[in-house]
Structure 1
Amino acid sequence: MKKYLLLSFLFLLSSPLFSQDKPEFHFGGALRFNYNYSTWKEGHQQRGGDFGYDMFSLQPTLKYKGIGLKTDIRIYSEAFGGYFMKFGWFDYNFTDENQIQLGLTQVPFGITTFNSHNWFFSLNYYLGLEDDHDMGGKFTHSGEGWEYSIAFFKNAEELSFGSYSDASNSRYSYDVGSIDENGDGTLQYRNKETNQFNVNLLKKLKTGEMAHKLGISVMFGGLYNLDTEKMGKHYAAALHYEFDIKKWNLKAQASYYKKDAHAPDGERKDVVALTAYGAPYLVAAEAMTYTLGVSFTQPVEWGPVSSLMFYNDFGYMDKTEEAFYDSYQNVTGCMITAGPMYIYVDGALGKNQPWLGPNYNTALAYGDEDAGWHMRFNINFGLYF
């Protein structure tokens, strides 16, 4: 049996699909600038917002003898976490439909690659349920009628390898971490993700000009507490649907998650810390989320401008703890495509949303009874090469 498997593997490597004599290398990247006007910031009101640097990205890809490499290394300002890797993996295509990835790869949960159309993503992103990337291996199948992904992640992005080192705040996607809740220099809610399994299954249907994707996603993994040195757990599930007809696209998803940390005595069990972009915050340990987004794309011929995509993405977080106040997000905008440039013009509204209001640390956890709707007008200019 072992001999048969070895001969089969050698045959695959020698087949035309993998018989590359020369490496295929491409060096891409992006540069982005951002205009931001936030209504809850008095200084923005006085000077009309701010326009500045967003990020610079390096995106090398390589393919050689059937083995591929793909990565995205991002450089933000120090205030937003500095430089870190968004993703980076090695891949191997068994066939045109089947691929395995190893490294920092996207977690197959919910609608992928994105459960949104706008620059801010959906509310799920801020809970680690959209465009999350972790360290592990993933097998994907993409056929005419079915798509599925099966993955195991040893942990989230790991930059320190000490026995009890906290998760770094410098990362692109939100993961469980630690936070100095009281500002006294001592970290609390010290958990790390470990040994996580994910399965994502999609049924694809096409009737005339209509295309449907109906899917289910499940996740289960461990939460290791650095103070008690005991293992908790976290899990999530989602039902999702995507629909395309002509110039229209619709994305709908209902998700549930729970994070059951083995926290020390005296520490709350109904919240956990998540972290990204250099700044952690607290979130409710259990919640349902509902997201709905629709877009319309109109081709145009306006000099370099080739298309306009108009969209609205709504998200609602229903926190299980009755004493907590729920969170909302709605983004209306347009993406302008002009050659290698993508320009997002967004009006983002939020209530108990950390990036769209004055309460950053606890908006997604306890929330605020008196929280109002706040608006951020944002224009992101990005050139991709």
Structure 2
Amino acid sequence: MKHQSTGESLSTYSPLLLFICFLISLPISAQDEPKISVGGALRFNYNLSSWKEGQKNRGGDFGYDMFRVNFNARFKGVYLNAEYRLYSDAFGGGVLKQGWMGYKFSDIDEIQIGLTQVPFGIQQYNSHNWFFNLTYYVGLEDDHDMGLKYIHAGEKFEYHLAFFKGAEELNFGSETESSTSRYSYDVVGRNKEINQFNGKFVYKFGDKAANRLGVSAQYGSLYNLDTKENGDHYGLAAHYEFSQDRWNVKAQALTASHNPKNAAGENRDVLKFGAYGAPYQVAADFNLYSLAVSRNIPVNLGPVSNLEFYNDFGYMQKQKSQFTDSYMNVTGVLVTAGQVYTYIDYAAGYNHSWLGGNFKDDFAAGNPDAKWEARFNINIGYYF
């Protein structure tokens, strides 16, 4: 492999270099022995899809979903959090979902470096079901990028500040496209996400901080491999979460815009996003609205201790008038039985790449003649 100069100045990397020097200089605790814990999960999946005639003829398919391993370690005040997942080759194979090192200054202040979750919108998930919400499929739910993040989680106020040098970068050639073998969706193809700044603020109020009202913002560059120029992208979100008396409500509204500096003749109304080994197109500019509601019901049915019923809805409004909007709705229940968690979902989609669309451009131009399609899905996982 040849290593070529990118021509970037040292100032591009200065936030990351300063943090590494700072981490090395941190005071160490009295902990003498490293503490290590290992966990993971094995999951299987059954699905029956309305748009797959062969699958309907054989009554659906049941097979392997994913095996994962989680590592947590702590030594002299510095800790590690990592999760590696192994999907089938058709879904990207092995991927590092997250992997970061951290240090806690106090009970409410910490810093993380590595492949860490991007602080944007409702976290950890903007959904309750196995499929996530529409936000996930455009890179705005449970996204993880390479950089550093500071978190202050006070009793009333919480804020996150972060800088990300790039997304999950696996190829380091001068003009190499980003790999689509990743867990979370990011811009791929001839554009790369670089030098992104994130800020998130949450106000917590009510009994036991049952209400979380927040705003999020992100801004970064899009480096084009053909023109060698930087475009930009940004996102803004307002979000509210309520958790009390076994109820949980997640409501969010966001807007996102991407302005790539593509080569002459290249379409700038769409970008290529990728994950799970397969890319598709996403509209460059859109608004997205989501509402997710769940209710827990404790039960005593043999090993079954809890049923969580939910409905998660998402609507993607594309700003280009010629494009057709996208929708997603998932109704289901999470069954808890000891260490076994089973999601039983009825997921419906309109112009949705993973729910009956043509996959290539459902989240971009879409199809005005598309039909609502649905997938009945059961995901069974043993978590250890």
Q: Is the structural similarity TM-score above 0.5?
A: yes
How much has 1:245 moved relative to structure 2? 2.1
Aligned partners of 1:364, 1:70: CA distance in 2, in Å? 33
Unaligned runs of 5+ in 2: 1-21
1:122 corresponds in structure 2 to 133
1:228 corresponds in structure 2 to 227
Which of 39, 43, 47 aligns to 2:50? It is 39
Structure-to-structure mapping, 1:333-348, within 5 angstroms = 333-348=332-347
Give the secondary-structure state (helix, strand or coil) at the position aligned to 1:141.
strand
Aligned partners of 1:138, 1:20: CA distance in 2, in Å? 24
2:247 corresponds in structure 1 to 248
Is residue 13 from structure 1 mapped to residue 24 from structure 2 by the alignment?
A: no
Counterpart of 2:146, as a letter, is M
Counterpart of 1:198, as a letter, is N
Aligned partners of 1:170, 1:353: CA distance in 2, in Å? 20
Counterpart of 1:204, as a letter, is K
Cα deviation 1:112-131 (Å, max 9, x = unaligned): 11000000001000000000
How much has 1:11 moved relative to structure 2? 11
Give the secondary-structure state (helix, strand or coil) at the position aligned to 1:13.
coil
Give the secondary-structure state (helix, strand or coil) at the position aligned to 2:210.
strand
2:185 corresponds in structure 1 to 174
Aligned partners of 2:319, 2:59: CA distance in 1, in Å? 39
Unaligned runs of 5+ in 1: 1-7, 179-189
Aligned partners of 1:63, 1:383: CA distance in 2, in Å? 25
Alpha carbons 1:13, 1:19 under 8 Å: kept: no
Cα deviation 1:147-169 (Å, max 9, x = unaligned): 11000000000111111110001
Aligned partners of 2:223, 2:25: CA distance in 1, in Å? 43
2:291 corresponds in structure 1 to 292
How much has 1:13 moved relative to structure 2? 3.0
How much has 1:305 moved relative to structure 2? 1.1
Aligned partners of 1:200, 1:71: CA distance in 2, in Å? 23
How much has 1:201 moved relative to structure 2? 0.5
How much has 1:9 moved relative to structure 2? 9.6
Cα deviation 1:85-136 (Å, max 9, x = unaligned): 0000001001010010000000000001100000000100000000000000
1:200 corresponds in structure 2 to 200
Structure-to-structure mapping, 1:272-351, within 5 angstroms = 272-351=271-350
Alpha carbons 2:156, 2:209 under 8 Å: kept: no
Give the secondary-structure state (helix, strand or coil) at the position aligned to 2:196.
strand
Alpha carbons 2:350, 2:357 under 8 Å: kept: no
Cα deviation 1:63-96 (Å, max 9, x = unaligned): 1110000100000000000001000000100101
User: Which moved further from structure 2: 18-27 or 226-235?
Assistant: 18-27
Aligned partners of 1:9, 1:159: CA distance in 2, in Å? 24
Work out the percentage of aligned pairs sharing the same amino acid. 55
Aligned length: 363
Alpha carbons 1:219, 1:236 under 8 Å: kept: yes
Aligned partners of 1:9, 1:70: CA distance in 2, in Å? 16
Closer/same/farther in 2, CA of residues 34 and 9 from structure 1, 3 Å limit: closer
How much has 1:20 moved relative to structure 2? 1.0
Cα deviation 1:341-371 (Å, max 9, x = unaligned): 1100000000000000131000000000101
1:92 corresponds in structure 2 to 103
How much has 1:12 moved relative to structure 2? 7.2
Computed over aligned residues only, the root mean square deviation of the Cα atoms, in angstroms, reads 1.5
Aligned partners of 1:300, 1:142: CA distance in 2, in Å? 33
Once superposed, which parts of structure 1, at least 4 consecutive aligned residues long, lie more than 6 Å away? 8-12
